[in-house]
Structure 1
Amino acid sequence: MISEFQDLSDKIDRLAQLAQSLRSENYLLRQANALLSAENVDFKHRLIAAQQRVEAMLAQLEPPAPAEQDSTPDDSEAAR
């Protein structure tokens, strides 16, 4: 009977150690998640800024001149 209590006590100790280990791991994962979330927000801001710069550059470009149309049909129409 005493050995059964000792086995139960050992299992409880292992369970307590496992619970503590999982708490520590959870804490580290939460820290990593917070850092990655902050990095993600930073990347989103940088992406928006880059998109705005590209749009501003595109707005400064002159629209292309209309292409002159040849009186000869193109190859796709000639093949018909």
Structure 2
Amino acid sequence: MISEFQDLSDKIDRLAQLTQSLRAENYLLRQANHLLSVENVSFRDRLLEAQRRLEALIGQLPPPPGEDGEGAADESEATQ
């Protein structure tokens, strides 16, 4: 009977240790998740800024020949 209580006590101790270990791991995972979320927001902001800058650069490019009607006329005059 005493050995059964001792076995039960040992199992409870192991369960308590495992619980404590899992809580510590969970805390570390929450910290890592938070850091990754912050990093993700930073990357998203950088991506949006790069997209904004690229769109601004594209807006400054001249239209391709033939798209506004002028380029096509210039080409036909050059061949004549």
1:55 corresponding residue in structure 2: 55
RMSD: 1.0
Post-superposition CA distance 1:22-76 (Å, at most 9, x none): 00000000000000000000000000000000000000000011165xxxxxxxx
Quote the Cα distance in structure 2 between the aligned partners of 1:65 and 1:19.
Answer: 70
Scaled by the length of structure 2, the TM-score of the pair is: 0.83
Gap regions ≥5 residues in structure 1: 69-80
Gap regions ≥5 residues in structure 2: 73-80
1:73 corresponding residue in structure 2: none
2:9 corresponding residue in structure 1: 9
Quote the Cα distance in structure 1 between the aligned partners of 2:65 and 2:21.
Answer: 69
Identical aligned residues as a percent: 72
2:31 corresponding residue in structure 1: 31
1:44 corresponding residue in structure 2: 44
Quote the Cα distance in structure 2 between the aligned partners of 1:51 and 1:59.
Answer: 12
Runs of 4+ residues over 2 Å off in structure 1: none
- Residue 9 of structure 1 aligns to which amino acid in structure 2? S
Quote the Cα distance in structure 1 between the aligned partners of 2:12 and 2:65.
Answer: 81
Instruction: Find the residue that maps to 1:25 and give its secondary structure.
Output: helix
Scaled by the length of structure 1, the TM-score of the pair is: 0.83
Count, aligned residues: 68
Structure with more relative contact order (C-alpha pairs < 8 Å, separation 6 or more): 2
